[in-house]
Amino acid sequence: MSDVLALLEEIREELRELRMLYKELVEKLVPVEEALDDEKEAIEASDEIVSEEEVMKALE
């Protein structure tokens, strides 16, 4: 039984290492960029819902 537990612990450790390596690889391939000021404002601002009439006026 202890052999099984030891094997499971070894597998868990290897999975942790694989996740860490995968995370590092993704960070190198897909750089994280800081949002610009206007992008931050758009993200943080509350959304405004417009009516169908307002949408149609904007499209004219």
> pLDDT tens digit string along 12-45?
999 999 999 999 999 889 877 888 888 888 888 8
Residue recorded with tokens 């417009």? 50
| SS3 call for 48 | coil
Q: Give the domain ranges of the chain.
A: 2-59
**Model pLDDT, residue 45:** 84
Tell me: pLDDT of 1 over 80: no
- In terms of DSSP H, where are the helices of the chain? 2-29, 37-44, 52-59
Reported pTM: 0.48
CA–CA distance from 37 to each of 5, 41, 45, 47, 48 (Å)? 51, 6, 12, 17, 19
